Structure 1
Amino acid sequence: MNLYPLKFYPILKERLWGGTKLGTLLGKELESDLVGESWELSGVAGDVSIVANGSFKGTSLTDLINRFPEEILGKSVLERFGKEFPILIKFIDAQKDLSIQLHPSDKLARKRHNSFGKTEMWYIMDADNDAELIIGFKEDISKETYVESLKNDTLTDLLNYENVSESDTYFISAGKIHAIGAGILLAEIQQTSDQTYRVYDYNRKDAQGNLRELHTELSIDAISYDRQDDFKVSYRQEANVANPLVNCPYFKTNFISLNKNIQCDVSDQDSFTIYMCIDGKVLIKNDFGSILIKKGETVLVPAITSNILLSTKRAKLLEITI
């Protein structure tokens, strides 16, 4: 079977906080000045990715997995997650501040929504000089203090603000309150889940003039109220090797900076491999075919692969497996 490296059509999402950097910096074809997200690889119902290259062009990710479950996912991934693709890959452009939000844990999401929870990571690709993220609280607080701050409109006084620069990386565990600030373009890797509890939105209104829904009651028992400095990721940037970024139960991510060709033996990996190109361009070749991708593009290499050749003179990649 010819399971070559698979590229998918991006699923572009208009957001009231979105902008144009997904077009100007990443080459996406935008039809709006308010595009906030490019879903690169998704198995989310209603937003399933469609293959854009080769003999499977036009086939959905779901159909491919149903036809070749172990070959696409890997035996261990299939046993753990079934045929649901377990992660969601995005590029995000925040022209304005996103809402302050959090995501439920697996246990809570399963109980309330019959879905996965949402743990995620961010790699900063571009940031204005004064750009900030909100991650967690400045100090430990109580549930009562949090509820009181919502009533008094003082939640922002309790939050931790982080100045960011290109290549900074952050890990956001389920339950941690957070927000992407204006002027940030990033790559996001997350569990397959769209469960978000919005707790504060600066009293903004949508295109119809309505305040956006808040999830105040749902959030109260989902938040981590302790301050934990566990979110900024330190990592090496040695050339032409896989530098570990994040290794959590839901995904493993490496940073790879290339200035020459490298060969990767993945015969014992038992998982698909995803490459997000965050700079330059690279030819990705497995046992069955190849594809050239450039900055802002993503490719899925099926688990049946034994060897991957990364061919380039200069590229930076995020490499994601389970």
Structure 2
Amino acid sequence: MNLYPLKFYPILKERLWGGTKLGTLLGKELENDLIGESWELSGVTGDVSIVANGSFVGTTLTDLIDQFPEEILGKSVFERFGKEFPILIKFIDAQKDLSIQLHPNDDLARKRHNSFGKTEMWYIMDADNDAELIIGFKDDITRETYVESLKNDTLTDLLNYENVSEGDAYFISAGKIHAIGAGILIAEIQQTSDQTYRVYDYNRKDAQGNLRELHTELSVDAISYDKQDDFKVSYGQGTNVSNPMVNCPYFKTNFISLNKNMQFDVSDQDSFTIYMCIDGEVLIENDFGSISIRKGETVLVPAITNHILLNAKQAKLLEITI
């Protein structure tokens, strides 16, 4: 079967906090000035990605997996997750602060929502001067302190703020309170889940003048109250090698900086490979075909692949597998 590198049409999401950087910096065709997310690779019901290149153009990701489960996912991935694609890939533009939020772990998400939990990582592609993320608490706190801070509108006094720059990376485990601050463009890798508990939103109103829904009661049992300084990702900057970034039960991510061709033997990998282009342009080739992508584009290389060739004069990539 001709399972070449697959590119998908982006699924653009209007958000209250969205902006224009997905267009100006990543070349997406935006319908308005409030586009906050580009879902690059998604198996989420109602938002399933559609192939944009080659003989499978117009085919959904779920239909491809239904036809070729082990060939697309890998045998071990299929045995673990079934035909549900386990990763959601996004680019996010926060023109304004996102709500302060957290996500349930697998056990809680399964019990409450029949869903995966949500562990994620962020790579900072662009950041305005003094842009900040919120990640975790600045000190250990108790459940009682947290609940009281929500009642007194003092939650922001308890939070940890991180100044960010291009190239910084962060790992956000399920249960960790967090928020993307204004002026930040990120590449996001996450479990396939849309379960978010919004706990504070600066008393903002939506387009209809309504306060946005908060999930105060759901959050209390889902949150990690310890400080846990485990979120900043340290990684190598070596050229023309895969520099490990994150290796967790849900995904593995490497950073690759290219100034010449690289070839990989992935015959023993037993997983698909995703490439997010975060700078430059690269031609990605497997045993069945090739495609060129540029900054802001994403490709899925099916697990049936034995060899991958990356052909670039100058490019930076995030490489994701299971």
Structure 2 match to 1:214: 214
**3-state SS in 2 of match to 1:283:** strand
Quick one: which amino acid aligns to residue 179 of structure 1?
A
Q: CA deviation at 1:269?
A: 0.2
Structure 2 match to 1:314: 314
Q: Which digits, 9 at most, give the CA deviation of each residue in 1:120-157, with x for residues without a partner?
A: 00000000011000000000000000000000000000
Structure 1 match to 2:303: 303
CA distance in 2, matches of 1:265, 1:131: 40
Unpaired runs of 5+ residues, structure 2, are none
Query: Residue 45 in 1 paired to residue 45 in 2?
Result: yes
Q: Which digits, 9 at most, give the CA deviation of each residue in 1:84-126, with x for residues without a partner?
A: 0000000000000000000000000000000000000000000
Q: CA deviation at 1:306?
A: 0.1
Structure 1 match to 2:144: 144
Structure 1 match to 2:120: 120
Structure 2 match to 1:70: 70
Structure 2 match to 1:93: 93
Quick one: which amino acid aligns to residue 102 of structure 1?
L
Quick one: which amino acid aligns to residue 21 of structure 1?
K
Q: Please, what is the CA RMSD of the aligned residues?
A: 0.2
CA distance in 2, matches of 1:265, 1:295: 25
CA distance in 2, matches of 1:66, 1:86: 14
Quick one: which amino acid aligns to residue 2 of structure 1?
N
Normalised TM-score (structure 1): 1.00
Quick one: which amino acid aligns to residue 318 of structure 2?
L
Q: CA deviation at 1:209?
A: 0.5
**3-state SS in 1 of match to 2:208:** coil
Which residues of 2 match residues 177-196 of structure 1 at below 5 A? 177-196=177-196
Quick one: which amino acid aligns to residue 291 of structure 2?
I
CA distance in 1, matches of 2:265, 2:213: 48
Unpaired runs of 5+ residues, structure 1, are none
Structure 1 match to 2:105: 105
Structure 1 match to 2:8: 8
CA distance in 1, matches of 2:263, 2:108: 41
How many pairs are equivalent?
Answer: 322
Q: List 4+ stretches of structure 1 deviating above 2 A.
A: none
Q: Which digits, 9 at most, give the CA deviation of each residue in 1:48-90, with x for residues without a partner?
A: 0000000000000000000000000000000000000000000
**3-state SS in 2 of match to 1:314:** strand
CA distance in 2, matches of 1:321, 1:159: 32
